[in-house]
Chain A
Amino acid sequence: MHKFWAAVFGVIIVLCIALFVVAAFVPGWWLPKQVSTFGDAADRLFYMILWITTFFFVLTEALLVYNIWKFGDAKPGYKAPYVHGNHKLEVIWTIVPAGILVLISVLQIGTWEEIKYTKNFPRPDISVNQIVVVARQWEWRIRYPGPEEQKRWERDPKGPENWRKLAEFPFEDFGQYDDVHDVNAVHAWMMDERGAGRVLIHLKTRDVLHSFFLPHLRLKQDAVPGKVIPVWFAVNDWNTAYDEKSKTWVDGFNHNTGQFGDRNFIWDLACAEFCGSRHSMMKGRLYIHKDRADFNKWLDFQQKAQNARMPAAAE
């Protein structure tokens, strides 16, 4: 009878592990394509932890199955001995995992530092793409310095820093006169060889907690009411181009094949902190342009649409 249960547990565990292995080869079942500068480091940490936990999972489950199999069938009337514990064993299984946790926490410092320490954030200057992202139930309102503002920055090196300050204070600020507004779409350009194109986001929320999550960048940051939280990233790949058919920029552009509609080139922006009934649909997209010139073309395009005075140009 108990051999049966041992077999059931054994089979389920083997199936689980098999599923895991299969998942790695089925498109869409494993981690999405990775496109940010720091994403590989985050992935390495993920795999490290995955292997450590896999090892212990298999070990403990094997022990469990073995013990059920071996000792399960007791003779009628047999009373199980009461084992108080084994001091040495307990010390070992406390110290070893603690050691592993310490090891993990030490190994991740470098990556965490790169992504989250303010000293590694890009200083606002003209090469940095500053964006204000305002989360609210249930959408992302996005704001960019407009083309004129960016032209002013060419003459005034303090301009980008001043724009940042305005984004941070007062909190309830809805931008400047010539800012470009958008919703549910973050646009940036692929970082060039000289490092221009790092993105600095000023993250706010107008109501409750949200979390700004770009899975393809391995980036996640909570938005906290009353705070302006800086977030940075830089992208190594691009996914959007002007589409003659839709007369606007469309993502899902695979630049290797020159085709639109490639799932691997649609990069989601999601909310990763439960924020109310529509939380699961609080979604946007990340549009990465080939270079700054293309981004600027889009910014002009977007500003023209925003300044529309006639219906035809508007729709």
Chain B
Amino acid sequence: MTCASGSRKECATWLSAVVLLAACSAGCGDPDGYSPELRYPVRTDPIIVKPPTTETAVPDRPGVLPIMNMLALNAPNHPLHSMLKDGPPLDPSVLAPNDRAVLQTTMDELFGTPLVPRTAGPDAEFNLRLREELDQTDAKLATGSLLYRQHCLHCHGLAGDGRGPTAFWINPHPRDYRPGLYKFISISDPQGREMRASKEDLARTVRRGLDGTAMPAFSTLSDEELSAITAYVIHLSIRGEVELNSMKNFLTFPAGQRTWDNDKEMIQSWLPTSGDNWFSSQQGAVVTPKPYPKAYESEEGFAQSVKDGWDIFKTPGDKQGGDCLKCHTDYGRKAQFRYDAWGTMVRPADLTLGVYRGGRRPIDLYWRIHNGIAGSGMVRSPHFQPTTKDEIASGKDRLWSLVNFLQVLPYPAMREKYGIKID
């Protein structure tokens, strides 16, 4: 035999081959998971207080996230420096080491690790709500975390920061969940308060994808898998918000001037706040459109509503119009890029393409106009719904007219049919 005959080299080759094979097969059998030591890292990237208001014809360069360079704006001679009226971007990397340590341990206690994620509230009642209203059960989060690792992490990042390895190369950049803002939602607060997203909204986004962006459709996942992923996205979002708010506190109040006594309690106190934001964004808050006007069912009625919609679209705001052209320049064909709430860039959609990120159904377009598109600068416009007696009596609905117009707009044959000229 080889080894017996004393040829040590050959023996070593054989042994290493066997070991390699064994290692490979062990690796294959492992359902790729996280190591127990891995913790969610405490954030280091800049926090945008308010993005600079400026417009450009071209988006940011591939391979960079504009937000990562935002700290440069703090230099007084930077061309965009004067835009920072609401305060300069904050830099978490300068956080004092002991503050960072408190943040890390407290966050670990509240949210677990990627292998064993949890959302642990201050009391049993709150935890029950987390479980019942937001599916934050340990089992769901553990499954969700694995699925997230497999399907989403390379874009949305380990902590849901939208900074996975792929993120730098695609535009629009993947969503950073930490501010808790979502664009394509069915919910809206009558007082105009900022909302999160309903579980159904997130599940719809994951199932159908966001057409026209890099966010693909995960339609072959089962309903259980989708609900686990959704729960995990909410987990990351709550975690991110708690971290964001605590970090802001640490950075705006230097040691010695703090308005709280106990760091740990300060951090913990953000969890119920964030949780409440999510509770109030669930089912009850879904916007049900006003019934579609009977008159629009007929061919003439529809044609009239398309014309009305076109008028509203073009008319400036001071004349009770929608002022949509203000941002969607030339129906979006010449729209400019601007910074959004995440510090990345967004362009008002080209509405002549018939490609809608948030979905093409009339209800989707209705929600977009009614609820606005959070973070992008497109504000909510519920006032187009008929509310006064006269408006209701007229049998017209300006919001539905806008939707009808938008649905016709991309198709040359339809534009001709309804007499819409956009060139």
Q: Chain A: residues with CB nearer than 8 A to chain B? A: 1, 4, 137-139, 141, 174-177, 181, 183-185, 277-278, 281-285, 305-311, 314-315
B363 touches A310 (CB 8 A): yes
Instruction: State which residues 159-174 of B face A: CB under 8 Å.
Output: 165-166
Give A1's nearest chain B residue, CB to CB.
B5
Contact partners of A181 in chain B: CB under 8 A: 360
Question: Could you tell me the distance between the alpha carbons of A174 and B219 in the complex, rounded to whole angstroms?
Answer: 21
Q: Mark B161-194, 1 if CB is under 8 A from A, else 0.
A: 0000110000000000000000000100000000
B361 touches A176 (CB 8 A): no
A309 touches B154 (CB 8 A): no
A174 touches B355 (CB 8 A): yes
Question: Could you tell me the distance between the alpha carbons of A315 and B354 in the complex, rounded to whole angstroms?
Answer: 21
Contact partners of A307 in chain B: CB under 8 A: 361-362
Contact partners of A183 in chain B: CB under 8 A: 208-209, 211, 217, 219
B361 touches A314 (CB 8 A): yes
Q: Chain B: residues with CB nearer than 8 A to chain A? A: 1-2, 5, 151, 154, 165-166, 186, 200, 204, 208-209, 211, 214, 216-217, 219-220, 286-289, 292, 353-355, 360-363, 366, 407-408, 410-411, 413-414
Contact partners of A175 in chain B: CB under 8 A: 354
Question: Could you tell me the distance between the alpha carbons of A100 and B413 in the complex, rounded to whole angstroms?
Answer: 56
Contact partners of A278 in chain B: CB under 8 A: 154, 216
B138 to chain A, nearest CB (A): 26
The 18 sampled A-B contact pairs (Cβ below 8 Å) are A174-B355, A175-B354, A177-B413, A181-B360, A183-B208, A183-B209, A183-B219, A277-B166, A281-B151, A283-B220, A306-B360, A308-B361, A308-B363, A309-B361, A309-B366, A310-B288, A315-B200, A315-B204
Q: Which 6 A-B pairs have the closest CB atoms?
A: A139-B216, A183-B217, A174-B354, A184-B219, A177-B411, A309-B362
Give A5's nearest chain B residue, CB to CB.
B2
B411 touches A309 (CB 8 A): no
Question: Could you tell me the distance between the alpha carbons of A185 and B363 in the complex, rounded to whole angstroms?
Answer: 22
A252 to chain B, nearest CB (A): 12
A177 touches B408 (CB 8 A): yes
Known: A174-B410, A310-B289, A314-B363. 10 other contacts (CB 8 A): A4-B1, A137-B214, A174-B353, A177-B413, A183-B208, A281-B151, A308-B361, A309-B361, A309-B363, A310-B288
Query: Taking A4-B1, A137-B216, A184-B220 as contacts, is the C-beta distance between A309 and B209 under 8 angstroms?
Result: no
Among A4, A309, A315, max chain B CB count under 10 A is at: A309
Contact partners of B407 in chain A: CB under 8 A: 177
Among A1, A177, A307, max chain B CB count under 10 A is at: A177
Give B362's nearest chain A residue, CB to CB.
A309
Question: Could you tell me the distance between the alpha carbons of A51 and B392 in the complex, rounded to whole angstroms?
Answer: 78
B302 to chain A, nearest CB (A): 12
Contact partners of A174 in chain B: CB under 8 A: 353-355, 410
Contact partners of B410 in chain A: CB under 8 A: 174
Contact partners of B289 in chain A: CB under 8 A: 309-310
Question: Could you tell me the distance between the alpha carbons of A62 and B287 in the complex, rounded to whole angstroms?
Answer: 75
Question: Could you tell me the distance between the alpha carbons of A174 and B289 in the complex, rounded to whole angstroms?
Answer: 27
Question: Could you tell me the distance between the alpha carbons of A283 and B209 in the complex, rounded to whole angstroms?
Answer: 13
A311 touches B363 (CB 8 A): yes
A239 to chain B, nearest CB (A): 15
A7 to chain B, nearest CB (A): 11
Contact partners of A1 in chain B: CB under 8 A: 5
Give B400's nearest chain A residue, CB to CB.
A309
B415 to chain A, nearest CB (A): 10
Contact partners of B288 in chain A: CB under 8 A: 310-311
Give A172's nearest chain B residue, CB to CB.
B353
B362 touches A308 (CB 8 A): yes
Give B186's nearest chain A residue, CB to CB.
A311
Give B14's nearest chain A residue, CB to CB.
A8
Question: Could you tell me the distance between the alpha carbons of A188 and B289 in the complex, rounded to whole angstroms?
Answer: 34
B219 touches A176 (CB 8 A): no
Contact partners of B411 in chain A: CB under 8 A: 176-177
B174 to chain A, nearest CB (A): 12
B32 to chain A, nearest CB (A): 13
Query: Taking A177-B411, A183-B208 as contacts, is the C-beta distance between A305 and B286 under 8 angstroms?
Result: no
Contact partners of A284 in chain B: CB under 8 A: 219-220
Residue in contact with B413 in the complex, picked from A4, A141, A176, A185, CB distance below 8 Å: A176
Contact partners of B219 in chain A: CB under 8 A: 183-185, 284
Contact partners of B355 in chain A: CB under 8 A: 174
Contact partners of B214 in chain A: CB under 8 A: 137
Question: Could you tell me the distance between the alpha carbons of A264 and B211 in the complex, rounded to whole angstroms?
Answer: 31
B393 to chain A, nearest CB (A): 22
Contact partners of B216 in chain A: CB under 8 A: 137-139, 278, 282
B7 to chain A, nearest CB (A): 9
